[in-house]
Each structure stands twice: as structure tokens, then as C-alpha cells.
Structure 1
Amino acid sequence: MQVIRCEEAHQFKKVEQEMPSLATDKDVLINIKYIGVCGTDIHAYNGVQPFFNYPRILGHELSGEVIELGSQVENVKNGDKVVVIPYMECGECVACRKGKTNCCTDMKVLGVHIDGGMREYISVPSDHVLKVNNIDLAEAALVEPLSIGAHAVRRSKIGEGDTVLVIGAGPIGLGVMKFAKLKGTKVIAMDVNQERLQFCEKWANVDGTVDALDNAESAISELTNGDYPDVVFDATGNKQSMTNAFQLVSHGGQLVYVGLVKDVISFEDPEFHKREMSLLGSRNATIQDFDYVITQMEKGNVDTKALITHRLQLADVPEKFEDILDPQKKVIKALVDVD
């Protein structure tokens, strides 16, 4: 089978490997159809991804078709369209015992800690696949990144009438905006890119936008009548943004870090303390979040088709991957087509 492997920073290599076999009788073999390209893949390619070693087969936003089953698999059948939950938890640690498999102490994420799905076939445990027979498979590749946004929203416990600021209008931030709106909140989007902010207005129906480079704090104060947002989600993975976000939270409010940066974040304790602020991390997603996103997509509440702006073939990744990194291409979400 055809495999695209990241050999080192800025270098993909096309290799041939044998088709994987089922490791256990509870595994399924999937013919990968689409792979979403995300920030993790880009960071790995650029050599700045935390917790990462080369060489590695990237790709964890996966959709495909089941072609072989282990003898004890009951949740799917051959021919089912599926998405993959790429977080391989240990099932035994303190987090797993509490049902928080998304932050397992020994997490192995496909495409990060272990080889991922930038190939034609992959074998995974059957309890890490979910059926999406009522969703277009290209759009289904977006279930995983959208689930990260849905998890952050669920973790924040926001509700109708709350005011939310989402910093960062990439795919993760857009997902946070969409699911926050579905909870009945007022959503403000903040980014450095005006075209992205316009997309937020159209796609997520946000209630206001803020240019992060143009007196942002004053603009947020004005949009919230001086109260500031009840919850601020930072989905940038940018140290400066994540640090500055402390100043944008209302008294009694929450700051949720959805993005990840390989650095130290510091803050002024009096500012944190006087607000009695809650600081939360939001990592990955759980099966509950995947189920929720799939349901919302099936209901037509999430226009995933509009998010997909660019595509490339698996065989073309080594030569054309850098094209989707070009800001002039105005990529919102790129997909790798395997067929």
C-alpha cells in the first residue's frame, strides 16, 4: 500500500508498505478515504510539534470504509463508513478510570506518538471507530477537529445568555464558535485575519468580530458593555495571545486553553485573583463529543462542506504539501484524498 511518511522536518517521503493485519480479534481494518490536514500535521512538518519524534506517518483526522473485522467486533460491519477516534488511551490510569480518556497519562495519538493515517489502510481497535453512514465521507473527516471544539464548549459549561469570546478563527476555533452558538450564547470572534473574521460571520453566525491587532481590549469592552466575556476560549496556540487572554475575561469568568504551545505561560496573579477566574485546559475529545458532533452534522446544524477549501491527492503530498501552508492560498481546511 502507498504510505506518505514525514522523515524529518520539511521532508515527506513516499514509501510502499504491506497492508496491515488485524492485531487482535477486536480490531477493524479501514480503507482510508480522506485525511484532514490540521495544525498538528503542519507543526510536525515544520519541526515545532511538542511530544513528537521522526520518522512518523502523520494524519489523525480520518474517514474511511471498514473492509475487515475481527471475530469479536460487533459495533460495525464490513462496508460501514466510519471515522476514527485517534486517541489511544491506556484504559487503566487515573484519568481513564474517571472516564477522561482524552487526557490519559499514557496517551498515544495516531499521527503524533504512533503512526497515523496518511496511507491507504489502517488497523485500529473497533471501540475507536464510529459509524457515519449518513454523512459524506469527505465531510466526515472533519468530525475529529470539530469534536475538539465541542469538547471545549462542553467543558466550559456555558449556557444560554452567556457571552463568549473565541480567539483564533482556524478550524478548531470555528468549531468552538459553532457549538457555542448552538448553546444559545453570544459569540465574539477575534483573529488577525479580516477574511477569516468575515468567514466567522457567515459560517458561525457570530455576533461580533474583533481585529486582534487593532485595540482589541477596548473593542471587546465595548461589545460587552464593559463586562467582558463570561468565557474566553483561546484556540491560537500562540504564547502572546494565550498570555494576553487573561486580561479579556470577566470577573467570575473562565479562560479555556484549547490550543497548545510548547512554551511556558505566565500571568500576573493579582489580575487572576481579583477576577476569581477559572483557568481550564481542554485536551482532545471523548466519544461523547464525537457522538454529539456526528448528530449535529446529521441534523444539518454544521455546514462542514463550506469548511473544506482545498484538496490534494495522497501521492502528491510530498510535492504539494507546502502549497496549503501558503497564506495566499487562504486555506481554511485542506483534505488529502486517498483514492
Structure 2
Amino acid sequence: MKALRCDEPGKLSIIDRDKPVAGTGEVLVRIRNVGICGTDYHIFHGNQPYLDYPRVIGHELGGEVVSAPAGSTLHIGQTVSIEPYIYCGHCRACRLGRTNCCQNLAVLGVHKDGGACDYVVVPERNVVPADGLSTREAAMVEFLAIGAHGVRRSGATAQSRVAIVGAGPIGISAAVFCKARGADVSVIDRNTRRLAFCESELGVDRVFEGSDDIRERLAKATDGEFYDIVIDATGSPAAMQAGFAYVGHGGSYVLLSIVRADITFNDPEFHKRETTLLGSRNATRADFETVLDAMRTGKVPTEALATHAGALVDAPGLIPGWSKPESGVIKAILEV
């Protein structure tokens, strides 16, 4: 079968490898669509903190069941999304239901070879039925679940004033699920095209173009009270540090971004506000179900989000261009 591999930073190739065979408790899935996300671009550019090369990429996966264990509720031909976080099930985090941050976690396409290929084998518990959706839509569930998880961590309600910093796919997904909770949502980014998308397609309440005086502008917009919840989805250490200053008294700061850096903050200001600082990693099965329900009820503009497409075999020539901000990509999806 064919697979898309990042051999080293800056080099992608299509390789041939054997079709996998399902073992006990595993499901064989025919991959039909693969979403390309920020993690894949970071892998291509050599700044993903948890990866060794070479690596078959791909963790946003939609496909069809080829085989399932005896007695499984899954059936052959069923459309599924794949939860790409292979967790151990027995560490403390797993026992507490926090499988997204398992002590022994292996993420497809990062810690182990991923699903940008014809077939994958995964544990049955990692296969999520996506009945009523296309495999293309199923491939979009994972990145949306990242945002849904961060929003769930934040505790956002209809009374919350939320600022989302970064209008890439993850920031957009956070905006979708903050709005689903009825929150007042502002989005901050330097990319005016993405800000316009957030207004027209997501219905956010206001947008702010990033600038050196952004804190002063946010203070003016909120009468100096700032935000109950700030969610960072920038992938920028400088922006992550700056975001502490946007949190209002009694507020929370959620870091969706993962970077190769130390993040520091001013302790007197942090304590004065009694700030709650939250990391948000991956997603859980519950978050996948939240996204699936939202997609089925038309609360996610999937057609608008999927801005670019191409074939798996053409990916080595497409991904370098897609990774550039000027490309206009929000979500690119490969067809397998």
C-alpha cells in the first residue's frame, strides 16, 4: 500500500509498505480521507517537539471498517473517525478517564506511524462510528475535538466573555464550541482573511487584528475588565506569554498550543487576578461525540472549513505550499 512519510524536515515522500493485519481486539480501517493540520506542518518544518524521523504522518482520519473483532458493534463498510491517541488504559491518568494525557500515550502520526496511507489497524476503542457523515467529514472530527476539549476545560458558559488568540483551525474549532455554549466570543489574529472567516462563517461577536497595541485595544473594548476566558491557539511562545495580560480578574487561561519553549508570567499579576491556568492536550471520546453531534445538527460549517483538497500521491508537492499563511488554507484534506 501507499503511505505519506516525512523522511526528515523539509522532505516528504510516498512509500510502499505492507498492508497491516488486525490482531486481537483491533479493527482494520480503509482510510479514505486525511486532514492535514498544524502538527503535520510542524513535522514538515522540523519543529514538532514529540517526534522522531522518519515518520508516516496523518492523524485526522476518516475511513470505512474493513474488519472488526467478533462481537463488535462496528460493521463492515461503516463510516468511522479514528481517535488517534493510543492510550494504555492502566496508568493513573487512564484510570481517571483522562486518556488524552495517558502517561504512555502514543499519537498516530507523531509518536508512531500515522494514517496517511491506504489502511490502518487500531484498537477497537479508538474507532468512533460516524454514521450519517461522509468520510471527508469524519476526517475533520479530530481537529474540531481539540477545540471542543479546550472549551470544555475552560468551563465556558453563556455568561462568559471569551477571547481566542489565533484563528487557525484549532482556534476556529474553539470558537465554534464557545459559540455553541452561547459565550460572547472575540477572536484575535494578524491574518485578516481568517478574521473575516470567523465573522462570516462562525458568527463570532467581534474580531481584532493583532498589533503592538492589542492589549490597550482589548482594554478599551472591555472597559478595562478584559476576559473571563482566554484561549491561546497561536503556536507562538511570545503570543502565549502576552496572553496572560488579557485575562480578567478571576479569569482562566487555556493553552491549546504546544511549543518548544518555556512560558513565563508575572507572578504578582497572576496572583492578583487569581488566574486559573489550564493546559489542554488532545481530546477524549466524549469530545469526539460532542463534535459528531454538532456536525450532525449543522452547527459546524464543514464545507466552508474544508478549503483545499488533493490526492495522497500528490501530497509531497502540495503540503509545502499549504503550510504557507498566504495559501489561504483553513483545512486541507487528502483523498486516499
Equivalent positions of 1:143-154 (< 5 A) are: 143-154=141-152
Alignment-mate amino acid for residue 222 of structure 2: T
Q: Show the 5 A alignment for 1:2-21.
A: 2-21=2-21
Q: What's the counterpart of residue 229 of structure 2? A: 231
Partners in 1 of 2:233 and 2:47 — Cα distance?
A: 17
1:131 corresponds to 2:129:
yes
Q: Secondary structure at the match of 2:29?
A: strand
Given candidates 184, 189, 206, the residue that maps to 2:182 is 184
1:12-51 correspondence to structure 2 within 5 Å: 12-24=12-24, 26-51=25-50
Query: 297, 301, 305: which is aligned to 2:299?
Result: 301
Alignment partner, residue 54 of structure 2? 55
Q: Which moved more, 1:162-171 or 1:315-324?
A: 315-324
2:310 pairs, out of 281, 300, 312, with 312
Which region of structure 1 is more displaced relative to structure 2, 257-266 or 131-140? 131-140
Determine if contact 1:208/1:223 at 8 Å carries over to the other structure.
no
Counterpart of 1:158?
156
Asked whether 1:269 is paired with 2:289, we answer: no
Q: CA deviation at 1:206?
A: 0.8
Q: How many angstroms does 1:223 deviate by?
A: 2.2
Count of residues paired in the alignment: 336
Unmatched segments (≥5 aa) in structure 1: none
- 1-structure distance, mates of 2:280, 2:325: 27
In the TM superposition, 1:234-253 aligns within 5 A as 234-253=232-251
Report the RMSD for the aligned CA atoms in angstroms.
1.0
AA of the residue aligned to 1:170: G
String of CA shifts for 1:268-294, please: whole Å, max 9, x gaps.
Answer: 101101111010001100000000110
1:66 aligned partner, one-letter code: V
Helix, strand or coil: the match of 2:80? Answer: strand
Task: Report the CA distance between 1:29 and its aligned residue.
Answer: 0.7
Tell me the residue number matched to 2:117. Answer: 119
Instruction: Give the aligned partner of residue 221 of structure 1.
Output: 219
Q: Secondary structure at the match of 2:277?
A: strand
TM-superposed CA distance for 1:97, in Å, is 0.9
Scaled by the length of structure 1, the TM-score of the pair is 0.97
- 2:76 maps to which of 75, 78, 85: 78
- In structure 2, distance between residues paired with 1:304 and 1:227: 34
Equivalent residue number for residue 108 of structure 1: 106
In structure 2, the residue corresponding to 1:251 is in which secondary structure? strand
Measured in 2, the distance between the counterparts of 1:62 and 1:244 equals 34
Contact 2:41–2:319 (CA under 8 A) maintained in structure 1: no
Q: Deviations over 1:23-70 (max 9, x none)?
A: 22x111111000000111111111110011011100000000001122
Equivalent-residue separation in structure 2 for 1:291 and 1:114 (angstroms): 24
Q: 2-side partners of 1:196 and 1:239: how far apart?
A: 21
Shift of 1:102: 0.5
Give the distance between the partners of 1:287 and 1:102, measured in 2 at CA.
9
Residue type of the partner of 2:5?
R
Q: CA-to-partner distance for each residue in 1:52-104, whole Å, 9 max, x for gaps?
A: 101110000000000112224x1311010000000011111111111000011
Shift of 1:214: 5.0
State the alpha-carbon separation in 1 of the partners of residues 229 and 243 from structure 2: 10
- Native 8 Å contact 2:60 2:139 kept in 1: yes
Q: Distance in 2 between matches of 1:178 and 1:222?
A: 25
* 1:221-280 superposed Cα distances (whole Å, 9 cap, x missing partner): 222222111000001111000000010000010000011111100111011011110100
User: What secondary structure is seen at the aligned counterpart in 2 of 1:253?
Assistant: strand
Deviations 1:170-222 (A, max 9, x none): 11100111100111110000001111111110121111111111521122122
Question: Match for 1:12: what amino acid?
Answer: L
Q: Secondary structure at the match of 1:250?
A: strand
**Following TM superposition, by how much is the alpha carbon of 1:156 offset from its aligned partner in structure 2, in angstroms?**
1.0
Shift of 1:304: 1.1
Say which is worse superposed, 311-320 or 187-196, in terms of deviation: 311-320
CA contact (8 A) 2:57 2:108 kept: yes
**Separation in structure 1 between the aligned mates of residue 182 and residue 94 of structure 2, nearest angstrom:** 31
SS of the counterpart of 2:151? Answer: helix
Segments of 4+ in structure 1 off by > 6 A?
none
- Name the counterpart of 1:279: 277
CA contact (8 A) 2:160 2:184 kept: yes
1:132-187 per-residue CA deviation (whole Å, 9 max, x = no partner) reads 12112212211000001000111111111210000000111001111001111100
Does the CA contact (< 8 Å) of 2:229 and 2:254 recur in 1? yes
Secondary structure at 2:56 match in 1: coil
The percentage of aligned residue pairs carrying the same residue is 43
Unaligned 5+ runs, structure 2 = none
